[in-house]
Amino acid sequence: AQQLPLRTNWQFNYFQENPAFAGFTDCLELKAGFRQQWAGFDGAPQTAFANVQGELGRSAGGGVHGFGGRVTDDSAGPYGFTHLDLAYAYHLKMAQGWRLAAGAAIGFMQYRLSLGDIVLPDFQAGNDPAITSNANQLLAPTMDFGVWAYNKYTFWGLSIQNLIEPSVDQWGLSTRFQRHVSLTGGSMIRLDGPWSFHPAGSIRFAAGAPVAVDVQAMFDYEESVRFGLGYRNETALAAMMTLNLMENLTIGYAYDWNVGPLSQASSNTHEITIGVLACPIKSGHVPCAAFQ
């Protein structure tokens, strides 16, 4: 089952997935968005998310201290959660133009179960104490960990979400929220004139779930417009675009076509993300042209 929300335009919002990205920009950066998955499908997942990150300071050796905060609200049918955490990362200067960042995020999740939205097969089941006596909300601590290696044209990332694997035994379910491990990588290839090509890929592992493979190919024009296609194994084909508006504002949009088993039963997926920088987008603050 899908325990953590998916995002299609992840090339535009790495910090939401990996705490090691905190401090990548030397000024504050805000990202916020909304994803409507399987539009028109009753009880389909909906996700709202926001984060802010930036540089906290520099050490004498050229290292960078980063900080940030993230919030996610996700719902799917009667189940949902709100996740809030704070992140810290340190970016270490390496040889040959490389930097290596490691970060961690600590926070909590409020899980909720809307009993009124559960369709019970028997009217009497609604009076069953085994169902109605269970708490419909619970809090659990969370911890994420991430590593990020990058130079001017290439990046690699590893993130581990749900490191603690909190349990939901309070709902009478003998299960845990599974740890998710993601590997990410990409590069930037200069083309003729103002064009560049940005291939990227992500692999996500979680116990009891199929391996999720996501590959994307984006083209950038003058660091103002970026567009491309993506494919998630056996589930979706996606089109993505980001536009830099004014000096501090970027808007991203993604549209998923279902190609898996739900393609005949549900509509497709929309995702919009807005980014705001406290410094001009083209001021040279980004040390890796492969993303952002």
- What is the average per-residue pLDDT within 255-260? 87
Q: Which residues contact 7 (CB under 8 A, 6 or more apart)?
A: 13, 16, 17, 33, 35, 47, 49, 271
In a domain, 14, yes or no: yes
Query: Lowest-confidence range among 19-33, 97-111, 156-170?
Result: 156-170
Summarize pLDDT for 93-115 with one digit per residue, the tens: 999 999 999 999 999 999 888 76
| Amino acid in position 144 | D
Q: How does the average pLDDT of the chain come out, rounded?
A: 86
In a domain, 157, yes or no: yes
Domains: count for the chain? 1
Question: Global pTM?
Answer: 0.85
Q: In this structure, which long-range contacts are made by residues 115-119, counting pairs with CB atoms below 8 Å and at least 24 apart in sequence?
A: 115/78, 117/43, 117/77, 117/78, 118/78
In a domain, 163, yes or no: yes
CATH number at residue 47: 2.40.160.40
Q: How does residue 119 score in pLDDT terms, banded at 50, 70 and 90? A: low
State the pLDDT at residue 32.
98
Torsion of CA 276, 290, 198, 283, to 10 degrees: 50
Residue 48: CB atoms within 10 A of its CB come to 15
Query: Lowest-confidence range among 61-65, 136-140, 213-217?
Result: 136-140
Q: For the chain, what percent of residues have pLDDT higher than 90?
A: 60
In a domain, 4, yes or no: no
- What is the average per-residue pLDDT within 50-55? 97
State the pLDDT at residue 279.
83
SS3 12: helix
Q: In this structure, which long-range contacts are made by residues 71-75, counting pairs with CB atoms below 8 Å and at least 24 apart in sequence?
A: 72/5, 72/16, 72/47, 72/48, 73/47, 73/48, 73/49, 74/4, 74/5, 74/45, 74/46, 74/47, 74/48, 75/45, 75/46, 75/47
In a domain, 3, yes or no: no
Q: How far apart are CA 28 and CA 140, in angstroms?
A: 29
Instruction: Name the residue range of residue 62's domain.
Output: 10-277
Q: How does residue 261 score in pLDDT terms, banded at 50, 70 and 90? A: low
Q: How does residue 24 score in pLDDT terms, banded at 50, 70 and 90? A: very high
In a domain, 288, yes or no: no
